[in-house]
Amino acid sequence: MTIYPAIDIKGGRAVRLLQGRADQETVYGENPAAVAAQFKADGSTWVHVVDLDGAFTGEPQNLAVVQSIAALGMKVQLGGGLRTRAAVERALGFGVSRVVIGTRAAESESFVGELVQAFGEKIAVGIDAKDGKVAVKGWVDTTGTGALDLARRMDALGVRTLIYTDIGTDGMLTGPNFAAQEAMLRAGKFGVIASGGVSRREDVVKLAELGQRYANLDGVIVGKAIYEKRVELPDLLKIAG
């Protein structure tokens, strides 16, 4: 199981939003690359980056910052505003290892299929759900599409990695929605990266135990709990093995 420490970028700074709300912002660092460098020093090889400005505007806004993170030698998983093939190609050209398609995946299966054909495992799909329904455009809009239904359609397209975020728990430090994550793990052959709600080491221990039952649990994204010093990244990396 891989630990993906998270950096959300807004206005060039490392921030966290409460349940994705732009008006509920906490700034954790003026220099996201410095935050990533600490993650690397702690032993992490991956970093999960979200371009929040891109998510809200529909076009990546912080690729120069992302490039500075990739230049550290870390594997970068990037989401936020990647809604055209040109944007995806540009991000990959900036050194990103894996891009996350969110809004467009809910809107266009053909778009995802074309990307998977062209870039294979470098394409992941982010499914963000509120009460089991898919949310898009920086979580501003909730669709009528069921998260599990969308996941099965992505599986059929050959998507190998899904990032599943339960919006109700994201940034709340209340613990993950384990039942929702387990349902997603059962939904297809894809690898699942769990996101949302990790607040203590026991949450990661429980996810690691879930990973022993489901081989397709690829990892877990941890953000606010690291910044608030509720968990220590080196400890989580040991738990994950």
**Catalytic residue set:** 8, 128
Could you count the other beta carbons within 10 Å of the beta carbon of residue 8? 25
User: Can you tell me which residue has the tokens 């613990």?
Assistant: 175
Q: Dihedral angle at the C-alpha atoms of 164, 125, 69, 199, nearest 10 degrees? A: 0
Q: Which of 218, 181, 173, 165 shows the shortest CA–CA distance to 199?
A: 173
CB 66 within 8 A of CB 78: yes
Sign of CA dihedral 182, 188, 193, 196: negative
Question: What residues does 75 pair with on adjacent strands?
Answer: 46
Token pair of 60 as six digits: 């990546």
